[in-house]
DNA sequence: AGCGCTGTTGACAACGTTACCAATCTTGAT
DNA sequence: ATCAAGATTGGTAACGTTGTCAACAGCGCT
């Protein structure tokens, strides 16, 4: 597959020697700098190809003190939300020759610190983080770097530089209003994974507070310790309805759980929305295409990634900006 | 947010001066090298903290000619498959202090070449690519680097170094056998996105070939130009059943499409599997939790990422190894 | 011929770090 | 007290690239 002695990776010097030109000329050809004669370019290109030369951006980045890397810190890759955000980020970055370097925190702020350190050590041109609630230690480090910082998901708080997201508390209050408006009087809430994403806790609390204000307090909130999944949603819904048969509507922390709830109802012959109304959060495609279209709060996840990356690139915009992308309540047919 | 004059990022030299020690000592403390007195360490840590020093790995990588970056080239982030693979990759890398640098090709081999160039220029310690069918130009460049290469998803072919995946052709032949065994005689196939992922084309062809061998040839294959989604699955299924009412079973390119088919049948009152049997591919959680459990071919996506990353790390193993992780046929209740 | 252009090429130093070697200081055994 | 072995610290030179400046050719003009 490969002969025993692996050839060292070719450098600018190797190419220069083979082409019979100076190193700097090779560098210029590689970077498509102006003022290069066709003859020189040709010689260099041939030499580079025969050696299989790949520029060493590590050296280049050291010299120029810039890179084409963007640090992206996400809490998880195992639900639909963050891959979509990342997709949005990547779609913009790739158009500008930038590469995302990824760090996953698993919702652990200790790991987040490590990950941020790690990523910053690569001199990224900017960093995208999730949420507004980083530890003081992380904030300190971030502000010592000289790069734009964009925090995504949330806008209810104070960003380090810029923030792109939605108002989760407001969304949850709207959810409460919607249920009451539709005549529901015994609302419940279902969450999962011990509310690891702090934004889901904020939503639950805002939901609960508004319901209380409107005189129809939350009947029960069941927060599973398991990770969010359709399966978990089905299980928790079953348990909740068994212990609280009076419940007439359930607001879920996300659509995965809500669809699980829907599947449970379908299996056990409960009418949606006749027996129980279901309201999800996020607006994933499964919910919208389901036989009973799931009522949900649509969040612009791909767009969020795109805007975050765009803000990072127009560096001037990256200071003190808060971009609230808003959400769209889709009433569906499950309410 | 930041005073007008941004402070330059602190270097080893700054820390050394402030701490009153040599640069190399600071370097050693930062790298937790052995033979450092507590007194020295203390001085350095204090100085580093007051300056908010972050090591510059770009310089370190240049000197040591190694990095902690792993190039990961994926075709897409917009279905469930690749985020899960990436999750698996990341779970292993993070345990070894390595960071994934991401490139998305959008199934475009021109972009793949660019992306590979880009990523390789950062001197990653290894590279993970999708599929075994890279262009000759890409293969040439890859083999000129001196790093382990792991190709994921597919094992039916010749890897550059190592491959981790499943046998797609075999899986599709098994699917054909399953349908016939269960008594289906008018099988159809539904795909999407113009079969951009070449693996889905391989599956269709193998499926078709085996059906023909068994004397029950494919009735029709409908390949939508749209991206795979539940919605697309529903639409194409409707169209297919309208024009080919005799079809008694459908094999889908993936579970998203299959669930769309399931939803369509539920809405339009078709019995599953009475009127039509459905067979998906991948085994995503929605299908397994659905009211009618989707029959599917379970693929180990997370595991694939894990194994790929592991192979990369144990460099000696990365030459010429083919790891077939296999699949599991889950008959569900949709057949 | 001499002048100032523009276009093209090269020499050299530097980016921030670490490998290598040398220097110094301890420690404990003789 | 002396010496060897080890622990701890520092000086210097790279890693591969690019910014800066300088050099030189060819051109048209006076």
SS3 per residue for chain A = CCCCCCCCCCCHHHHHHHHCCCHHHHHHHHCCCCCCCHHHHHHHHHHHHHHCCCCCHHHHHHHHCCCCEEEEEECCCCCCHHHHHHHHHHHHHHCCCCEEEEEECCCCHHHHHHHHHHHHCCCCCEEEEECCCCCHHHHHHHHHCCCCEEEEEECCCCCCCEEEEECHHHHHHHHHHHHHHCCCCCEEEEECHHHCCHHHHHHHHHHHHHHHHCCCCCCEEEECCCCCCHHHHHHHHHHHHHHCCCCCEEEECCHHHHHHHHHHHHHCCCCCCCCCEEECCECCHHHHHCCCCCEEEECCHHHHHHHHHHHHHCHHHHCCCEEECCCEEECCCCC
Chain A residues close to B10, C-beta within 8 Å = 144
Decide if B4 touches A, using CB distance below 8 A: no
Determine whether the interchain pair A86/B77 forms a contact, defined as Cβ–Cβ distance below 8 Å: yes
Kindly state the tokens that stand for A263. Answer: 């599947």
Determine whether the interchain pair A90/B104 forms a contact, defined as Cβ–Cβ distance below 8 Å: yes
Looking at residue B142, its pLDDT comes to: 92
Q: Which CATH class is domain B12-55?
A: mainly alpha
Mean pLDDT of A18-34: 92
Burial B94-132 (b: 16+ CB within 10 A, else e): beeebbbbbbbbbbeeebbbbbbebbbbbbbbbbbbbbb
Looking at residue B188, its pLDDT comes to: 98
Quote the minimal CA–CA distance from B88 to chain A in Å.
9
- Which residues neighbour A32 within 8 Å (Cβ) at sequence distance 6 or greater? none
Residue pair A165/A155 in contact by the 8 Å Cβ criterion: yes
> Is the bond preceding residue B272 a cis peptide, omega within 30 degrees?
no
Fold of B68-167+301-327: Rossmann fold (3.40.50)
Mean pLDDT of B33-37: 85
Residues of chain A with CATH 3.40.50.2300: 68-166+301-327, 168-298
Chain B residues close to A144, C-beta within 8 Å = 7, 9-10, 51-52, 54
Q: Which strands, in side-by-side order, build the sheet including A99-104?
A: A322-324, A162-166, A149-154, A126-130, A69-74, A99-104, B99-104, B69-74, B126-130, B149-154, B162-166, B322-324
Decide if A321 touches B, using CB distance below 8 A: no
**Angstrom distance (rounded) from CA B172 to CA B280:** 11
Q: Is the CB of B60 under 7 A from strand C?
A: yes
Looking at residue B4, its pLDDT comes to: 37
Looking at residue A320, its pLDDT comes to: 81
Determine whether the interchain pair A99/B101 forms a contact, defined as Cβ–Cβ distance below 8 Å: yes
Quote the minimal CA–CA distance from A309 to chain B in Å.
15
Strand C positions closer than 7 A to protein CB: 7-12, 14-20
The mean pLDDT value of chain B amounts to 93
Looking at residue B44, its pLDDT comes to: 94
Q: What percent of chain B has pLDDT over 90?
A: 88
Measured between its terminal Cα atoms, the distance across chain A in Å is 61
CATH superfamily, region A168-298: Response regulator (3.40.50.2300)
> Is the bond preceding residue B273 a cis peptide, omega within 30 degrees?
yes
Residues of chain B with CATH 3.40.50.2300: 68-167+301-327, 168-298
Mean pLDDT of A121-136: 95
**Angstrom distance (rounded) from CA B199 to CA B172:** 10
Decide if A97 touches B, using CB distance below 8 A: yes
Mean pLDDT of B221-240: 96
Chain B interface test: which of A32, A78, A286, A301 (most B C-beta within 10 Å):
A286
Residue A296: is its pLDDT beyond 50?
A: yes
Could you report the per-residue pLDDT of B164-212, keeping only the tens digit for each?
Answer: 999 999 999 999 999 999 999 999 999 999 999 899 999 999 999 999 9
Determine whether the interchain pair A51/B259 forms a contact, defined as Cβ–Cβ distance below 8 Å: no
- Which residues neighbour B276 within 8 Å (Cβ) at sequence distance 6 or greater? B241, B247, B248, B249, B250, B265, B270
Could you report the per-residue pLDDT of B278-302, keeping only the tens digit for each?
Answer: 999 999 989 999 989 999 999 999 9
Strand D positions closer than 7 A to protein CB: 7-12, 14-20
Decide if B187 touches A, using CB distance below 8 A: no
Residue A1 has its nearest CB partner, among B102, B285, B319, at: B319
Give the β-pairing of B69-74 and B149-154. Answer: unpaired
Decide if B5 touches A, using CB distance below 8 A: no
Nearest CA in chain A to B160: A1
Half-sphere exposure of B101 (CA within 13 A, CB side): 29
Residues of chain B with CATH 1.10.260.40: 12-55
Looking at residue A3, its pLDDT comes to: 37
Determine whether the interchain pair B80/A80 forms a contact, defined as Cβ–Cβ distance below 8 Å: yes
Residue B308: is its pLDDT beyond 50?
A: yes
pLDDT tier at A6 (50, 70, 90 boundaries)?
low
Domain A68-166+301-327 annotated CATH 3.40.50.2300:
yes
Decide if A141 touches B, using CB distance below 8 A: yes
The mean pLDDT value of chain A amounts to 93
């Amino acid at each position: 597959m490969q002969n025993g002695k692996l050839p060292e990776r070719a450098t600018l010097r190797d190419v220069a020697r083979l082409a019979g030109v100076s190193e700097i000329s090779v560098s210029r050809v590689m970077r498509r700098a102006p003022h290069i004669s066709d003859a020189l370019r040709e010689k260099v290109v041939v030499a580079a190809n025969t050696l299989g030369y790949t520029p060493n951006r590590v050296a280049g980045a050291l010299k120029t003190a810039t890179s084409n890397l963007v640090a992206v810190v996400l809490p998880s890759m195992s639900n639909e939300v963050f891959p979509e955000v990342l997709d949005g980020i990547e779609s913009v970055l790739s158009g500008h020759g930038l590469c995302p370097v990824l760090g996953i925190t698993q919702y652990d702020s200790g790991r987040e610190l490590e990950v941020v350190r790690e990523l910053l050590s690569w001199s990224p041109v900017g960093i995208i983080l999730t949420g507004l609630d980083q530890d003081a230690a992380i904030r300190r480090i971030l502000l010592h770097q000289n790069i734009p910082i964009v925090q995504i998901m949330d806008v209810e708080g104070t960003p380090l530089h810029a923030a792109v997201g939605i108002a989760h508390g407001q969304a949850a209050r709207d959810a409460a209003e919607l249920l009451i408006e539709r005549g529901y009087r015994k609302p419940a809430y279902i969450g999962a994974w011990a509310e690891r994403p702090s934004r889901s806790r904020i939503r639950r609390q805002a939901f609960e507070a508004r319901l209380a204000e409107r005189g129809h307090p939350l009947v029960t909130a069941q927060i599973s310790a398991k990770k969010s999944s359709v399966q978990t949603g089905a299980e928790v819904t079953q348990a909740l309805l068994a212990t609280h048969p009076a419940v007439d509507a359930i607001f879920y922390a996300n659509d995965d759980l809500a669809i699980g709830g829907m599947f449970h109802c379908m299996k056990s012959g409960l009418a949606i929305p006749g027996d129980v109304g279901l309201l999800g959060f996020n607006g994933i495609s499964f919910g919208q295409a389901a036989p009973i279209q799931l009522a949900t709060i649509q969040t612009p996840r791909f767009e969020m990634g795109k805007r975050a990356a765009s803000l990072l690139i127009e560096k001037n915009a990256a200071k003190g900006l808060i971009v609230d992308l808003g959400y769209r309540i889709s009433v569906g047919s499950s309410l």
